[in-house]
Amino acid sequence: MSEDKHTYNVRVDWTHDRVGRLTIEGKPEIAVASPPEFEGPEGIVTPEDMFVAASASCLMTTFVTFTKKMRFDYESFTVEGEGTLERVEKGFQFTRIVLKTRVVVATDELVSKAERALELAGKYCLVSNSMKCETIHENEVLVK
Q: Which amino acid is at 72?
A: F
* Average pLDDT taken over every residue of the chain: 97
Could you give the CA distance from residue 70 to residue 8 in angstroms, rounded to a whole number? 29
| Cβ-count burial 83-109 (b if 16+ within 10 Å, e if not) | bebeeeeeeeebeebbbebebbbeeee
pLDDT tens-digit series, residues 27-69: 999 999 999 999 999 999 999 999 999 999 999 999 999 999 9
| DSSP β-bridge partners for residue 127 | none
pLDDT over 90 at 3, yes or no: no
Could you give the CA distance from residue 1 to residue 13 in angstroms, rounded to a whole number? 28
